[in-house]
Amino acid sequence: MTEDNRKGKASDRRFATKLLHFGAEIDETTGASSVPIFQASTFHHHDIFSPPEYDYSRSGNPTRQALENYIALLEGGSRGFAFASGMAAISTAFLLLSAGEHVIVTEDVYGGTYRLLTSILDRLGIESTFVDMTNFEAVKAALKPNTKAVFMETPSNPTLKITNIAETTSWAKDHGLLTMLDNTFMTPYHQRPIEHGVDIVLHSATKFLSGHSDVLAGLAVTADESLGKRLKQLQNGLGSVLSAQESWLLMRGMKTLQARMEHSERSARRLAEWLSNHEDVTNVFYPGLDGHSGRTIHEKQSLGYGAVVSFDVGSGERAKSLLSKVRLPLVAVSLGAVESILSYPAMMSHAAMPKEVRHARGITDGLVRYSVGLEDIEDLLEDLDQALRG
Ligand SMILES: *Cc1c(COP(=O)(O)O)cnc(C)c1O
């Protein structure tokens, strides 16, 4: 069998197979069972008249390239890009816009994206309007003559509100707007936005994709080649690329994405049901719950509900008490790891947001966010029960 036959066409295979057989899983030169880490900043020109494929690692590195092709395959896009963090990916994508242009953004977007738009990009003349994207009329009403892009995050963070992706992208296309979507919470295992018309998919790969709370990374995938060329120019020009070591570590984590997501999602569904029946919990946010207002739309555009459940324990005092009494989850910023992580948005991810804005977005003082890991769910429930009652 030749190498080509052995590899076949990765894009024709099912998701779980793509995770293991993405094209670079066997090193061509040595047959090594993982992508080599090309720890080199520069590359020798064997023939000065024909420049090598790789010449300098900011512009291109074979280990990073393997990761970039890998995420493009998983998202069903044309080109992938790896960055030093999720915010590096997001800020690079926003720099496709120019001074004087305007972007419409999901109201309860990730805190770092909110900070980027309201304290850095605004200074460079890039304007933004935050809208509740569960209300399509509000999205349409935000259109201005200088609007150039729509930035979605669905489910949103931390209240897990749902945006109708296809409805938004088809309207955006009619108005010549670029569409971007932060797919961190769902990952391509659960949601592939390019299939619903999105132009650029973004990830904090720090979360579920790497999955082990040990890598900081960001990824972007463009639907088409011309947008890919423009993003490549920005990635090379701005220089916030992911190192070869981190690219390798991220690929190592991504191979188990489906196995991890399946386990965590099953547990998250159980946790959400359990919390809904708990007398010490006033409100539960999870798109898989019957009462969730965005459930039907979410089910049309996603293959699962994810592993993040937010819930309200009624007051800041009770939230702080819960955080001090849990024994299993890491009490920390972040999510999407093998171990469960409990966060307190009001004092962690959304601490920089003015209190009125935070409350208006449903991020109350009693709201906590639980990212379900791979522990036995019975142990997690027993632990939460003692902490809630304590
Ligand atoms: C964490 C996160 C980011 C930022 O990613 P970093 O890797 O921390 O820079 C962006 N969007 C979402 C939804 C996140 O959870």
Contact partners, residue 25, CB within 8 Å, separation at least 6: 33, 34, 35
Question: Of 197, 188, 190, 181, which is closest to residue 303 (Cα–Cα)?
Answer: 190
138-139-142-146 Cα dihedral, nearest 10 degrees = -170
pLDDT confidence tier of residue 121, bands split at 50, 70 and 90 = very high
pLDDT surpassing 70 at residue 128: yes
| Domain stops at, among 254, 269, 288 | 254
Query: pTM for this structure?
Result: 0.96
Ligand 1 contact, 169 CB (< 6 A)? no
User: What residue type is 311 in one-letter code?
Assistant: F
Identify the three-state secondary structure at position 288.
coil
Q: Which of 13, 27, 54, 58 is catalytic?
A: 58
Order of strands across the sheet that contains 200-204: 79-83, 218-222, 200-204, 178-182, 147-153, 102-106, 127-131
Q: Is 216 in the pocket of ligand 1 (CB under 6 A)?
A: yes
- For residue 65, pLDDT over 80 is answered with yes
CATH number at residue 97: 3.40.640.10
What pLDDT score does 362 carry? 87
Catalytic entry in 182, 199, 312, 365: 182
Same domain, 265 and 136: no
For the segment 227-232, the average pLDDT, to the nearest whole number, is: 98
Q: Which of 114, 184, 369 to mutate to test the pocket of ligand 1 (most atoms within 8 A of CB)?
A: 184
Question: How many domains does one find in the chain?
Answer: 2
Of 235, 254, 273, which residue is a domain's last?
A: 254
To the nearest 5 percent, what fractions of the chain are helix, strand and coil? 40, 15, 45
What pLDDT, on a 0 to 100 scale, did the predictor assign at position 51? 86
Residue 7: band (very low, low, confident or very high) from pLDDT cuts 50, 70, 90:
low
> How far is residue 45's CA from residue 29's CA, in Å, rounded to a whole number?
19
Same domain, 185 and 107: yes
Known active-site residue 58: yes
What phi and psi values does residue 366 have, to the nearest 5 degrees? -95, 5
Tokens of 303: 């293959």
The answer to whether residue 81 sits within a structural domain is yes
Evaluate if residue 264 carries a pLDDT over 80.
yes
Domain of residue 192: give its range: 35-254
* Annotated catalytic residue, options 110, 114, 344, 370: 110
Domain edge (last residue) among 254, 269, 287: 254
Task: Report whether residue 112 contacts ligand 1, using a CB cutoff of 6 Å.
Answer: yes
Q: Are strands 283-285 and 308-312 parallel, antiparallel or unpaired?
A: antiparallel
